[in-house]
Amino acid sequence: MYKVGIEDADNYRLDTVKAALEKCFADLGYNSDNPLSKIIKPGDKVFIKPNWVASRWRESCPHKDNLYSVITHPAVIEAVADYAAKALTSRGGAGEIIIGDNPSIDADFNELMDFTQIRKLENKYDNVKVKILDLRPLVCDDLKNYGKKNLMVAQSGDPQGTVEINLGKESMLYGIDSTRFHGVFNEREETIASHTGETQLYTFAKSLYDADVYISVPKLKTHQKVGATLNLKGLVGSISKKNQLVHWQDGYPAIKGDEYPSKEAYEASKTAKVTHRGAWPGNDTIWRMVVDLYQALQKKDRRYFTVIDGIIAGEGQGPFCPTSKNANTLIAAEDLLAADIAAVRYMGLNPQKIKYLAHFLNEAKQISYNDIEVIKNQKTIENFFDKNSGNYKDFYVVPQWEEIKINNAI
């Protein structure tokens, strides 16, 4: 049985966040004195991965309110790091915490650090070394150059290097004609070469992949290409070679593409100022990449934990242009997949309509609703996944994604 704790928090004061987290720990049956000692041992290397997808609102966003509807709030990261440091230093021990992400290629990391003030954690703890890392080997310093690999700026990336995983026939992209695959860059040769035949490559940041404990701290947020982005979709931020991440197949269904739903939409995009490539439920490619990332992460034995930041959540046009929603929620669990399924249901969305979750629920049969116990105030929420359950928030989704709403049809 996978336990998922859901607790209320109505602001980002550190004491409020910690009080909600302590309730989550109690839901999970953790020791109140040193809760994360359940998964963290002295001497461990702990990697904490927030959602740092952006450092500011994009100019193309139709509205711009609270950036913390887009990225993880530093108070949640700090609270998690505090509990991790306590577990590392128990019984006179020590350890290392790395906080990092591979944000969107156009994010300004220094601006992000100034905005969040998260670097203060580098000197907060005795006997625990803390590093803040920008894992990107390439960045885009001008959004006009987005998608043009030859105009990107090289930087050091992960100081520990990379780990390459070849999923081969296990990949959800295996057996699909790769000639239309499109990654982050318009230069598609690397994308195609990484996903042809039994070559199905994903190159992870080594600091993340080799950690003893991986703690994911994503934002509770909708997403235009996959429906919802949480722990599993957030794994795109673990990949160093971003052009290996297949986002769609060029074109439209009549020519075996899923970039746009029709020839008309495809043609209209050629003159549009803002395009939404692959941003529709008929995208049959990107969810496969998400499944692959989760499968690749699980190739190494490590311990996991997640805290999903839904105090201020993002609804509508995510991941870059959501509207802020005061969901006043923290969600915690050891199992990333179980947490995502419960969180999607809590958002008022149907996990069976989120393709990468439906894969694990139906095809892979890796998990079922009956395997997940959702707990609040140390009491199991009965019938949490039932169609008539009222235990959810009503997240807005853009019109083309209306089919993923619960609407009493789960």
- In tens, the pLDDT along 303-318 reads 999 999 999 999 999 9
Q: What average pLDDT is seen over the chain?
A: 96
Q: Identify any residues that bridge with 99 across adjacent strands, giving them in sequence order.
A: 48, 132
Query: Which residues, in sequence order, are CB contacts of 88 under 8 Å at separation 6+?
Result: 40, 41, 42, 43, 44, 46, 94, 95, 96, 97, 127, 128
For the cut 90, the answer to whether the pLDDT of residue 384 exceeds it is yes
258 within a domain of the structure (yes/no): no
Whether residue 191 lies inside any domain: the answer is: no
Domain-embedded: residue 278: no
Cβ pair 278, 240 in contact under 8 A? no
Neighbours of 137 (CB within 10 A): 18
Number of structural domains the chain divides into: 1
Measure the CA–CA gap between 38 and 45, rounded to whole angstroms: 15
In a domain, 384, yes or no: yes
Q: What are the E-state strand segments in 153-232? A: 153-154, 162-166, 181-182, 195-196, 199-205, 213-217, 219-223, 227-229
Confidence of residue 334 (pLDDT cuts 50, 70, 90): very high
pTM for the whole structure: 0.97
SS3 101: strand
Phi-psi region of 305 (alpha: psi -120 to 50; beta: other; left: phi over 0): beta
Q: What is the mean pLDDT of residues 108-115?
A: 97
pLDDT digit string (tens) for 43-102? 999 999 999 999 999 988 998 999 999 999 999 999 999 999 999 999 888 999 999 999
Q: In 327-370, which ranges are continuous DSSP H helix?
A: 336-346, 355-358
The pLDDT tens digits of the residues spanning 259-304 come to: 999 999 999 999 888 888 999 999 999 999 999 999 999 999 999 9
Model pLDDT for residues 172-229, shown as the tens digit of each residue: 999 999 999 999 999 999 999 999 999 999 999 999 999 999 999 999 999 999 999 9
310 in a structural domain: yes
**What's the pLDDT score for residue 391?**
80
Is the pLDDT score of 407 beyond 90? no
Q: In what order do the strands lie in the sheet with 162-166?
A: 162-166, 199-205, 195-196
3-class state of residue 286 by DSSP: helix
Q: Is residue 277 in a domain?
A: no
Euclidean distance between CA atoms 354 and 44, whole angstroms: 34
Q: What percent of the chain has pLDDT over 90?
A: 91
Residue 233 lies in a domain: yes
Question: Are the C-beta atoms of residues 228 and 354 closer than 8 Å to each other?
Answer: yes
Q: How confident is the model at residue 408 (pLDDT cuts 50, 70, 90)?
A: very low
Range of the domain at 18: 2-165+202-240+289-404
Which pLDDT score, from 0 to 100, does residue 410 have? 40
pLDDT score at 275:
86
Residue 129 included in any domain: yes
